[in-house]
Structure 1
């Protein structure tokens, strides 16, 4: 159908449409008012006409894009010499960048940004880095990218948590490891693709916090066996409790703590505190942690008294353990 339309009708009028669109673009460059939707409509016609599944932009690229690039080159070739002479090199360089961005980026903003979700999902960091460098020059250009990143972290993070729910909801060590794996994965994406830009770090923190505090995996109908009870469904969110239990495993004389050095135990405790920064119900964590601490002290089963003291200090002093460089805007401090 598209091929018939293209051959019978559009091929006879596309030159006139294209010429009219270029005249409107030229008028806009001269500061004249015009309806941008007319140009957008012509451009989209070229995109929608292509029936080649392997290259949906073939007709657009061979026709509209070529005409647009040619008209852009002609316009700025005539404008550049006079502007350079009147305004000097520094202003000319600024003008050059603005013209390039307006002509080659802003005009195709929606088309370029439409590729962002797929790039994030496929972890195409090189392409994302290039898109970021372009969109950052356009007013509000990266806002859609921030939204795409947040949505990806929330959907991918929750999907991974649900996939491992049967294991991690009853194993505090695996639960913490899963959350840390997600954090490191998304942090690596932000670093490689967006150069740890603060805006993207904030987006990461916001989305990761939603993953950490989501109670979906604790509400699933997962079987639990208890003596004399049989099958039972999981209780509501146990995130703060699992974090506290894992800390207790590290601080108490357990098979886990016995096979780790003091340095390794401290490193793992700091990882817990990193996750804790994103937890909303920190008071629940503290209630469980204090109960475990009291039991360890009464029974004299602490693995290392110095590490116990360090843990108390880390919880008392904000950011003393894991620092703000990793957690970004992760939420409230841990001050007791």
Structure 2
């Protein structure tokens, strides 16, 4: 045993002293006396002159059978070689200080760690036969683990009081902008990680954390607390943010070039606390000024810094939400008098504020969901409670519905010259405001009323109306748009019904049918329309056609009853005012106005009294006054005193 071991011992010392000596390594690892072959012989051959555990200074915890004793003896022989080499050869060679100490340590470590890795690789028999079978023992390691334990106990723990300050000093110099050897620091700190590998019941980085990381974090907090105080005292807040951004980037790079990756989380938490969380109030103190002056770069830096903190964005989110609300209310206050009469101005103002802050959320806050929510909440606040709707959103809902009417009615000023694409875009913008309305039932009430007017007056685009209804349905569901869809369906049904009516009339050629006539049959309960309170008397020219339609409808739909809504009906009259030129005018009038004007065909004089008109058409005095005022205002009739 002693003869074989003496050769193996020489080879082990050679490897852990200078593993890069190619010729020596080839001689040991190849040929009939190969390294692994020597280990195998020492473990399996029946050798004489085998040392005892007492000879090796080892005290076994149990009795080993003869066939197992030689691997154990060899294990402790190798341990003695590692310990002796590190204690007697390596330790005396690393007695310097500061950076020189680090270089000496790192050079020796690189050779030693490579050497024990090679030894471990060719000690598979011991690792397999001894270590695995004794896996419950805390004192038995792989050969590499054994080598690491020897290095730690015989070297590092004896010089750690010099190693730690020297290592931290290099990192401080690096932070101060001096040139340092990052590879050296990486090698030293990696050695601490390896010294903890494979230790029973301990996580792999525990030794690294105990010997370096804890002190490093304390030093980091001390260093940056001083720097933060100095920079804030000597510089503006924007310059402070620029400096902290740079410092955070530097420290993240330092993790890659020097530290172990597990340090990054704790390091970043410490930096964020010192640079950002502890100075949050200061960081937020000027953000309103940055918003007022459109200082985009400062806003972006503030967001990026605060986003590093777990709850750092919440105060900024609240500031943004309140700002949106305040800004929106201020803009509505400016236009409140005109907006009462101009729904377009009101809605466009809402959209301008929303667009302004939507752009901010996209460009500065990178569509962060917290600020998307702030945009929604802030806009919801000023849309529903403002100078026009101080307590609820009813007025806002009404004006939005009127705006929809103006853009969907083809003959309106607001929709003039709008392409289909433009109209589609406006509908999409309407939906932005609609989603934020609290009182959507008020919107539905006014929208339905205006929608019914567009349909009855045939002032609508089927495609755009369908598109609008589908958008409302996406937001509020089927029940919300059921009546709107039913109203739309009634128009299609009425068109088919009028075709059948014309066919019915054509089948009775001798029938006096009167002027052209079409009816829109509306489903009771679906339309926001009520029968008139007065019993209006139709002009006889129209009355005959209405009676024919009722007869036709009863034949088509037995049991159904029609209630005529004359206050919503219209007609076209042709008239001549200038007899010499015989110029013909077409007047589009309401049915009530038609009843008034047709009375002039039955009177001898050019004038008719108000009393005669009221007695003839049975229109209530208030309604009659309104219709006469409209006719005189448009110079169709001339009012004179009796």
**Preserved CA contact (<8 Å) 2:325 2:378:** yes
- The equivalences for 1:85-164 within 5 A come to 88=260, 90-164=261-335
Is 1:166 the counterpart of 2:337? The answer is yes
Q: 1:60 to 1:125 in 2, by over 3 A?
A: closer
The answer to whether the aligner puts 1:315 opposite 2:486 as a matched pair is no
Tell me which of the two structures has the higher relative contact order, counting C-alpha pairs closer than 8 angstroms and 6 or more residues apart.
1
- 1 CA distance for matches of 2:344 and 2:236? 54
1:186, 1:108 → 2: CA distance?
26
Q: CA deviation at 1:127?
A: 1.0
1:129-180: CA deviation from partner (whole Å, max 9, x where unpaired): 1111111122321111011111111111111110121222320111111110
Matched, 1:300 2:458: yes
Change (3 A) 1:297 1:189: same
Structure with greater proportional helix content: 1
1:279 aligned residue: 437
Change (3 A) 1:254 1:149: same
With over 3 angstroms needed to count, the CA separation of the structure-2 counterparts of 1:113 and 1:335, relative to structure 1, is farther
1:166-315 aligned at under 5 Å gives the runs 166-218=337-389, 237-252=394-409, 253-302=411-460, 304-315=461-472
Structure 2 portions without partners, runs of 5+: 1-214, 220-224, 481-642
Tell me, yes or no, if the aligned pair for 2:384 and 2:393 is still in contact at 8 Å: no
Return 265-274 or 280-289, whichever deviates more: 265-274
2:123 paired residue number: none
Local SS of the residue matching 1:238: helix
Cα separation, 1, equivalents of 2:344 and 2:449: 19
Distance in 1, matches of 2:290 and 2:479, equals 39
Q: Residues 186 and 305 (structure 1 numbering): CA distance in 2 closer, same or farther, change over 3 Å?
A: same
Distance in 2, matches of 1:254 and 1:110, equals: 53
Q: C-alpha displacement at 1:202, in angstroms?
A: 0.4
In structure 2, what is the Cα distance between the partners aligned to 1:334 and 1:119? 45
Query: What TM-score do the two structures reach when normalised by structure 1?
Result: 0.63
- Whole-Å separation in 2 of the counterparts to 1:160 and 1:121: 15
Q: How far did 1:57 drift?
A: 3.8
Q: Distance in 2 between matches of 1:131 and 1:207?
A: 20
Distance in 2 separating the partners of 1:258 and 1:101: 57
CA distance in 2, matches of 1:183, 1:59: 35
Partners of 1:120 and 1:149 within 8 A in 2 = no
3-state secondary structure, aligned to 2:436? coil
RMSD: 3.6
By how many angstroms is 1:109 displaced? 2.2
Q: Measure how far apart 1:251 and its partner are.
A: 1.5
For the 8 Å contact 2:385–2:393, the answer to whether it is kept is: no
Distance 1:299 1:59 in 2: 69
